[in-house]
Amino acid sequence: MDTVVAAPRALLGRTITGPAYVRIRAGRIVEVVAGEPPAGAEVLADGLLTPGLVDIQINGAVGVDFAEVDAAGMRVVAEALPQTGVTRFLPTLITAPVPVGLRQARAVLAASAALPEGVGARPLGVHFEGPFLSPLRPGVHDPALMVEPGAAEIDALLADEVLRRALRMVTLAPEQPGGMEAVRRLAEAGVLVAVGHSDATGVQTREAADAGARMVTHLFNAQRPLGHREPGVPGVALVDERFTLGLIADLAHVGPDVCRLVFNAAGHRVALVTDAVAAAGMPPGRYQLGGADVLLTEDGVPRSPEGTIAGSALTLDRAVRNIVSVGVDVADALASATIVPAEAIGESGLGRLAPGAVADLVWWDEGLSPRKVWVDGRVVFDADAGGVVGAVVGYATAGQ
């Protein structure tokens, strides 16, 4: 039996139009029509209908660190994320020795596979942020655990067929010995390669793109900065159309004016990410990131005990609102949390309201807060009905 959801406004492609409705059958969108709905449709009285948000860099949330996740922890995160509009997410693992990272990745995949059908947001595989990074740009990653991306290390990532299929993204520093060859091998294997935690020059950043790199991890953060003669990583990324630009829009990692500058220069290539850690959605306190302590204080920015920013407590709906607050068009902000990240990881059936796409939907209120969320055509969050549908745990509103 078909389900029809209609709204006064909807994000179709990168444009907000309306009224419009979508027809859902067996978890997929089979029809999208700009116009008045047919009889029997669920008519949303106000607000905006969009695709579900896609977060392709998230280390954990609601007290759960993906480096130490089990089935119960994954379910907690999966149930929590739809309240922030997220329907698909890419668990991210930070720098660890390669054997440890592989063990962590297998645990993430096992926990993902254990999620019951119809429960919350759905994981998309795994993202390795490290250990092939530059000790010169470590951020909160431990430089002692970083290694060069030699042939044996890349072999280890690609040898396991199950893990190879689930490995969606690797962030690395291409200027490290063996880096360009690693970019080529991973790209040829269908993995999205992102330049990040990198001291690459502008020339080296372009060389990485020539080798197959297609993304920059958290633009401006933990990379050689933009200069007026040496563009570094961000300077090249802003002008090279091959790169998708990951941006942590908590307005702490990157200031408001620079966020606006990024959208002015390359808004159609920006993918909003949270880089959220276990502290996201939790009160101030001590949490974990890859086995290390992270402190969340009243300012809402997680930091290492030494004071280095350690991921974020951001949620993706808050990122959208933040970007709108600096003057970016609502449609452009929403596209950066839907279609752009989905396309970056090769998921043409996500992040859009279009025939054939997965029926992941978000109904937003006038203040751009999620009011109702569908995953695979099923309602998983309904604020008017008390919140998470079928949840076994609660969720604390994020403090960002």
For the annotated catalytic residues, the residue numbers are 275
What residues contact 328, with CB distance under 8 A and at least 6 apart? 259, 260, 263, 267
211 is in an annotated binding site: no
183 is in an annotated binding site: no
387 is in an annotated binding site: no
268 is in an annotated binding site: no
What residues contact 210, with CB distance under 8 A and at least 6 apart? none
Contact 33, 21 (CB under 8 A): yes
Helices (H), the chain: 71-80, 98-113, 151-159, 161-166, 179-188, 202-211, 232-239, 256-266, 316-325, 330-335, 339-344
154 is in an annotated binding site: no
228 is in an annotated binding site: no
- Widest distance between CA atoms in the chain: 63
Helices 316-325 and 256-266 sit at what angle, rounded to 10 degrees?
90
264 is in an annotated binding site: no
309 is in an annotated binding site: yes
310 is in an annotated binding site: yes
What spatial distance separates the first Cα and last Cα of the chain, rounded to whole Å? 40
The tokens for 58 are 């998230």
221 is in an annotated binding site: yes
Which of these, 53, 33, 12, 387, lies nearest to 4 by C-alpha position?
33
Backbone phi and psi for residue 166, each to the nearest 5 degrees, phi listed first: -90, -15
- Side chain identity at 363, as an amino acid letter? W
Question: Residues at the annotated binding site for substrate?
Answer: 140, 221-222, 229, 253, 309-311
Question: Residues at the annotated binding site?
Answer: 129, 140, 197, 218, 221-222, 229, 253, 309-311
Question: Residues at the annotated binding site for Zn(2+)?
Answer: 129, 197, 218
